[in-house]
Structure 1
Amino acid sequence: MNQRFYSLDVFRGATVAFMILVNNPGSWSHLYGPLAHAPWHGCTPTDLVFPFFLFAVGNAMAFVLPRLQAAGTPVFLKKVIKRSLLIFAIGLFLNWSPFIKWSDGSLVFKHWADPTNPESGIRILGVLQRIAICYLCASLIVYFLKLRGAIIISIIILLLYWLLTLFLGATGDPYSLNGYFGTQIDKNILGIAHMYKGEGVPFDPEGLTSTLPAIVQVIFGFLVGNYIQQKGKTFEMLSGLFVFGSLLVFGGFVWDMTFPINKKIWTSSYVLYTTGLAIMVLSVLIYAIEFRGAKGAWSKFFDVFGKNALFVFALSGFLPKLLPLFRWVDHVDENGKSIYTSAFPWFYEHVCKPVTSFTDNPKNGSLLYALCMIAFYWLIVYWMDKKKIYIKV
């Protein structure tokens, strides 16, 4: 393996590990601030996970695209479209899985659209679906428009999205949950039944319009990967990366004054800010690993996550939905009603909470559970790495 890939694996693996950490708390009611998303405007460490992963997708694409270009346009289109459709399908499968659920003591089928509630159904979009769309669009842009064209298109997308959000949003409050213009587009195309409702109203944080600026995140990742290849392992490359990352962070802060940094509508300022931070973090990793040789147990821990990144992310989304089908009675409440549990909730309630009870802070039990989940999934990908099992999509 080319050594430059190792830094990317560690970066991607660390991103996936953090993604598992923030997506698997013991309780959503007991979170430390950095492990929760910003309520609306702003950016927490958790809000860095998704854009970092999109950046890593683009970065890896820079090392693969030359081989696809050499193979010709038909091969390129076949591979990119097939991969994008597969990733999208996996994301949709995770939203619908495991296709059945417990209801009043019996297993029932999860309908695509609930026949008893026309506004309830299976969500169409999600994290993997956005990755698929961004990967497809960024690949086509870079392949057909080349580097210069990709840079121009990226600038146009970020500016156009800003103007659309400003002028098509609610007058006086275009960047708010209720004022964001993209929600109506999602309702018209996707339907309320198939949208996310975690904000209390139909609003999809991975919606169609907010996916536009996310495409630029992948393109930026590609540009950085290409720059690394062109400059090679030199201090000129490293300093150039760090300076560029710093400028993007500064640009994101400046734009924040008129177009607030916001993950949920994926603002253009958010793209600049998070991409800049991703570049700076990657620069530090390249310096530590490639220049200083600071590899060891810490890098190996993240490395195995990076080698099976999409697989372990999908698995961490699938198991918490599958295991509740295998449930048992945990206790009977004061009304004589049986309270059921399954493997993961039982572990949180009967292991993580008691172990941390002496701290008198329920957030610690929730955090311990999340850390245990990281260890659990790490054991799986570590075993796969030992067996040389790498599931590529």
Structure 2
Amino acid sequence: MTQSKRLISLDVFRGATIAAMILVNNPGSWSTVYPPLLHAKWHGCTPTDLVFPFFLFIVGISISLAYTKRKESGEATNKLIQKIVWRSLKIFLLGLFLSGFPFFNFETIRIPGVLQRISVVFLICSLLFLKTNWRTQAILGAFLLVLYNFLMTVVPVPGIGQPNLNPETNLGAWLDNLLLSGHLWSQTKVWDPEGLLSTIPAIVTGITGLLTGKLFLDHDKSPQEKVIWMFVAGCFGIFLGMVWGIYFPINKALWTSSYVMYTSGIGLLIFALCYWFIDILDKRSWINPFVIYGSNAITVYVLSGVIAKSLYLIKWETSDGIITLQGWTYNTLFLSWLPPYNASLGYAILNVLLLLGVAWILYRKRIFIKV
């Protein structure tokens, strides 16, 4: 693969990840969702728990590939940093927009969030890529994982006492409550799955992507050798994550160090398969929907959130009480003829297909909205 040749497998992986995000975020009813499409209740890892770290892993790879090209083109580092900071700010503000939509009550608006975490990881990883080499990145990543493990399992929690990993009394929850009280996830109010302290290991997820991108920039390795390296590294990551998980359990909400290694390992294996089939074997007959999704990934994700909230805003009175447009759509199109779990899944798939249609229109018109 030459430097100028686009890595189509990365586009496919990105698109599939965004489609999966939309699928798991939009069931017809949260009370009837197949278990693999739900997050683990606390410790553990379901397929749904893989989606967000996959996206951060992809962010890291994209940084390596994109900014290497820009540096080689002679673009000044200071100018690149300005663009990075501005892009990070835009993504963060988009996250706040989604949190506040449609009422924008700034007294209670959720400050952490998915896009907010993506913006921070993008900012830190981009600066690391521009200012450090891959060895420094690897060492820093390892240090941050060990540091986070130490903070969460050794440092006493102020006002609580012994360190613990319980939802409301761990050190991360204490810090979120201290600094962001009243601006946390509405379902908990006292802790946040995208909280402050757990953003530290999330940055390391991005670093694993940086290191993977470095592998692709190594022109001394053949495509087949790169696949082998990714498989070896992926298997090692999964193994290390499972072993580490014995002492520091795999947990998405806490973004534990074991979770970083485990999910990055799986991400490496899946990406290696994509690269092998798509870029090496040229098996591309099935990839178009994912390429289309990946071409406007952030835009489609934001639109999905706006549509989901809007469907709950539109409501009217019926003989059975008040019904929302979301409830009417779900009941009429799916629950009226499908078992509840299949109906809920059908509604989620409809969301994926409708947003694919929007992404296809943008793609066909060559409109690529760069956030």
Structure 1 residue 312 displacement after superposition: 0.4
Q: Does 1:309 align with 2:313?
A: no
Q: Counterpart of 1:12 in structure 2: which amino acid?
A: R
Partner of residue 268, structure 2 = 279
Secondary structure at 1:277 match in 2: helix
The one of 309, 315, 319 aligned to 1:327: 315
Q: Please, which runs of 5 or more residues in structure 2 have no aligned partner?
A: none
Among residues 91, 110, 134, which one is paired with 2:121 in the alignment?
134
1:2–1:145 CA distance, 2 compared to 1 (3 A): closer
Is the partner of 2:112 in helix, strand or coil? coil
Relative distance call for 1:2 and 1:327 in structure 2 (3 A) is farther
In 1: Cα distance, 2:6 partner to 2:273 partner: 13
The offset of 1:63, in angstroms, is 1.1
2:223 to 225, 234, 248: 234
Distance 1:34 1:325 in 2: 29
Distance 1:233 1:387, change over 3 A: farther
Residue in structure 2 matched with residue 50 of structure 1 by the alignment: 52
2:111 is the counterpart of 1:111: no
Q: Partner of 1:263 in structure 2?
A: 252
The normalised TM-score by structure 1 is 0.89
2:76 aligned partner: 72
CA distance in 2, matches of 1:161, 1:2: 38
Name the counterpart of 1:93: 97
Residue 233 of structure 1 and its aligned partner are, at CA, apart by: 4.8
> Which residue identity does 1:368 align to in structure 2?
G
Q: CA deviation at 1:4?
A: 4.3
Aligned to 1:230, the other structure's residue is in SS state coil
Could you tell me which amino acid in structure 2 is paired with residue 111 of structure 1? N
Instruction: Please state how far the C-alpha of 1:145 moved relative to its aligned partner.
Output: 2.0
Secondary structure of residue in 2 paired with 1:79:
helix
Q: What's 2:343 paired with? A: 365
Q: Is the 8 A contact 1:197 1:203 kept in 2?
A: no
Report what 1:194 is aligned to.
183
* 2:337 counterpart of 1:355: yes
C-alpha distance after superposition, 1:91-135 (max 9, x if no partner) = 000010122xxxxxxxxxx5222xxxxxxx111110000000111
2:332 maps to amino acid: H
Q: CA contact under 8 A between 1:4 and 1:290: conserved in structure 2? A: no
Q: Give the C-alpha shift of residue 172 in structure 1.
A: 5.8
Moved more, 320-329 or 45-54: 320-329
| Equivalent residue number for residue 185 of structure 1 | 175
* Alignment RMSD (CA, Å): 1.6
Gaps of 5+ in 1: 100-109, 114-120
Q: What is the number of residues matched between the two proteins?
A: 363
> What is the alpha-carbon distance in structure 2 between the residues aligned to residue 2 and residue 240 of structure 1?
22
3-state secondary structure, aligned to 2:133: helix
What's the counterpart of residue 116 of structure 1? Answer: none
- Equivalent in the alignment of 2:143: 156
Q: Once the 2 structures are TM-superposed, how far is the Cα of residue 236 of structure 1 from its aligned partner?
A: 1.0
Contact 1:3-1:290 within 8 A present in 2 as well: no
Structure 1 moving runs of 4+ over 6 Å: none
- Give the letter aligned to residue 315 of structure 1: L
What is the rounded CA distance, in whole Å, between the counterparts of 2:250 and 2:142 in structure 1? 17
Alignment TM-score, normalising by the size of structure 2: 0.94
